[in-house]
Amino acid sequence: MNKMPKKIILAATLALLFIFNAFSQSSWTWRNPLPTGYSLYSVAWTGSQYVVVGDSGTVFTSADGDEWIQQNSGTTEALFDVIWAESLFVVTGQDGLILTSTDGVVWTSQNSDTYWGLHSVVWTGEKFVAVGGYHTIVSSPDGFTWTKIDVSLDVDFYKVIWTGNLLVAAGYSGIYTSEDGENWTCRNSSGRIYGLTMAEDQIVAVGGNNGSYMAFTSPDGITWNQRIVSESSFGTLTSVCWTDSLIVAVGSYGSVCTSSDGKKWNREFSWAEGLRNIIWTGQEIVAVGTYGEIYTSPDGLTWTKKCSEKIESLGSVCWTGTQAFTCGLNGEILTSPDGVLWTAQNSGTRKSLEATAFVEGKAFAAGDSGTIIYSEDCINWSSAISGCNSDLYCISGSGEMLIAAGDSGTILTSTDGLSWVSRNSGVSERLESVVWTGRLFVLLGHRGIILTSQNGVDWTDRTSDTTFSFLSAVWTGTQIVAVGSGGKIMRSTDGVEWTSSESGTTEAFSSVTWTGRQLVAAGRYIYSSEDGITWTQNNTIAYSDLYSITWTGSLLVAVGFNGMIVSSPEDIPVAGKIPLQKTLISEQPRFSCSLSRDKDLVAVKDNHSGYRYNLLGRRYGYEMSNIKSGVKRKQNRHTLLK
């Protein structure tokens, strides 16, 4: 086998890193919740800086725990643990991922020698030891070179600590100890253990079993005593720390439990979201968890929230021409002058609001039990008289006539937005979307319902395909584009004759908007199209469904599950191409590339050596080759190709 020159190997490796970073970038930005909506799994403190890590490669840094700065980790894999030791941050994560950094800002991926998720890492004073799924254990003397340790155990490890003379690891089937990280002994097999800490002269482990919060204590790691923290708890304790005077454990549903000795426990608090990790900095406790939750406490009893307040799911968003407003469950209303900074407003109702519109200088929101509210400034809201109890899912208008529609074929009309009149739709299915083309109202709903009307009073049934449920539609100026179940797209120039298109996904689209240049559809994923026929999937940072999307004239704004608000300029990739910044020759980087996802091909050029590479996308990895030889990368491993 011909050996590849070292320069080519280095160039190929750097080119791969460049490409992966390019692909991991997204033009979408979190606007709510802040600092992130991703679940956070671990936090570390250096003495002057916090680093938190979590889902989708999330990394944030903070000097004070109040202001958080997002950093680029270079990956979208879940990051499970972070520690600070030997002037180095070490992060472990999904699929054997290990990242290192000296400052929390610039991160480098290391070869872990395993594909299994690594859930926890510790420094013993001589080496790093990381543990994970399927009895995986790897170690490193410096954080850069890692070696897998073969052990004959049947356990998934969740946590590992160093006591000063003993490694203690816990997981799905109990607690294990080792003096050297290579030879392990099971010490306790009761329950699932997720958290470990040293508490003065004893080791404390926490977890859960059969609906009970459980704790275990040991003076030496060999002999363990089981303690019941709470017998009527649903879930488990996930992490524990020692504050020099108090043991504090956190877990499912935001539970906080404390103990002075590990024997008798008090359940102090319970918040809505789960907490995943807790540390003691020497001055305060920091806990992180689900959907970006961050809390601090000086004593484990009094807690301060360091993230934005929880907002229920947001169902619709609208741009008025001067500001955006969004509505959701429990009557939530938020407004923003730019789609970036959002302020909660009092809607005057606790009914869930499902639809928004701005017509003739008035903002409208409609929702459960026939609720319709209106406002001239999106701040002060008043209730309209709808005269119905049906849930409403859409609202729009022509300038002279307003239309609201919803459950059981309900259609309401109004000339002023204050008083509404019920109209006969002739159908019983839920109506989800209404558009005005300038000449015609078009209502769309479940089971392919299509209704048209010129005056909003008399409606004609145009339904043809009952296998498709419409969820949203938009008028582009030349055609109606409707989206819904199964990722299907329907188009019509007149509201009467319809043509279907395939988006390339079977996931439902909840909403679609028109920017004047392209259509953007949102749901579990985001797709864009210039003509409504050819659709391309785009990058997104949303971790769950987006329910509504709008265009402000300069920014796409999407809202969804758990109060998510994300925004993006219109430069999201069209036709699968990621835009690259042009650079002067004098500023030309070491590597340049052209990306085209629709061709599944990336051409990379080393501007120093002149070597050219092709990067071919694969479902589980990437393959790089040059004229003479190549490097195949699959799950953090490099193998020379003949």
SS (H, E, C) 391-420: CEEEEEECCCCEEEEEHHHCEEEECCCCEC
Shared-domain flag, residues 274 and 422: no
Residue 615 lies inside a defined structural domain of this protein: no
Backbone angles phi, psi at 578, to 5 degrees: -90, 120
Backbone angles phi, psi at 281, to 5 degrees: -90, -10
Residue pLDDT, tens place only, 450-480: 999 999 999 999 988 778 899 999 999 999 9
Beta bridge partners of 404: 395, 412
The per-residue pLDDT for 233 is 60
What residues make up the domain containing 290? Answer: 35-305
Per-residue confidence band for 88, with pLDDT thresholds at 50, 70 and 90: very high
Q: What is the mean pLDDT of the chain?
A: 84
Question: 589: cis peptide before it, omega within 30°?
Answer: no
Residue 562 lies inside a defined structural domain of this protein: yes
Q: For the chain, how many structural domains are there in total? A: 2
Are 580 and 19 in contact by the 8 Å Cβ rule? The answer is no
Range from 14-23, 59-68, 325-334 carrying the lowest mean pLDDT? 14-23
Residue 424 lies inside a defined structural domain of this protein: yes
20, containing H or E segment: helix 6-24
Shared-domain flag, residues 291 and 352: no
Shared-domain flag, residues 210 and 186: yes
The per-residue pLDDT for 542 is 83
Shared-domain flag, residues 279 and 378: no
Residue 595 lies inside a defined structural domain of this protein: no
The per-residue pLDDT for 232 is 61
Residue 619 lies inside a defined structural domain of this protein: no
CATH code of the domain in which 495 resides = 2.130.10.10
Side-chain half-sphere exposure of 286, counting CA atoms within 13 A:
22
The per-residue pLDDT for 606 is 35
Residue 330 pLDDT greater than 70, yes or no: yes
Residue pLDDT, tens place only, 581-639: 222 222 333 333 333 323 333 444 333 333 333 333 322 232 333 322 232 222 222 22
Average pLDDT value for residue range 132-147:
95
Token pair of 619 as six digits: 């479902």
Give the Cα separation of 523 and 521 in Å (integer).
7
Residue 71 lies inside a defined structural domain of this protein: yes
Shared-domain flag, residues 259 and 363: no
The DSSP string of 173-203 is TEEEEESSSSS-EEEE-SSEEEEEEEETTEE
Shared-domain flag, residues 218 and 334: no
E strand residue ranges, 447-584: 450-453, 460-461, 470-475, 480-484, 488-492, 499-502, 509-514, 519-523, 526-529, 536-538, 546-551, 556-560, 565-568
The per-residue pLDDT for 272 is 57
The per-residue pLDDT for 229 is 87
The per-residue pLDDT for 267 is 87
Residue 318 lies inside a defined structural domain of this protein: yes
Shared-domain flag, residues 296 and 371: no
Range from 119-123, 500-504, 568-572 carrying the lowest mean pLDDT? 568-572
Select, from the ranges 185-189, 551-555, 572-576, the one with the highest average predicted confidence (pLDDT): 551-555
Range from 256-265, 294-303, 509-518, 569-578 carrying the lowest mean pLDDT? 569-578
Side-chain half-sphere exposure of 150, counting CA atoms within 13 A:
0
Average pLDDT value for residue range 529-555:
92
The per-residue pLDDT for 641 is 24
Report the percentage of the chain scoring pLDDT > 90: 72
Give the Cα separation of 525 and 539 in Å (integer).
8
Shared-domain flag, residues 184 and 78: yes
Shared-domain flag, residues 116 and 236: yes
Residue pLDDT, tens place only, 217-257: 999 999 999 988 887 666 789 999 999 999 999 998 888 99
How remote is the C-alpha of 533 from its chain's centroid?
29
Token pair of 515 as six digits: 């920017």
Shared-domain flag, residues 261 and 335: no
Residue 638 lies inside a defined structural domain of this protein: no
Shared-domain flag, residues 173 and 219: yes
Shared-domain flag, residues 56 and 204: yes
Per-residue confidence band for 541, with pLDDT thresholds at 50, 70 and 90: confident
Residue 139 pLDDT greater than 60, yes or no: yes
* Nearest by Cα to 537 from 507, 564, 568: 507
- Strand ranges of the sheet holding 247-251, from the earlier edge strand across to the other edge: 237-242, 247-251, 256-259, 266-269
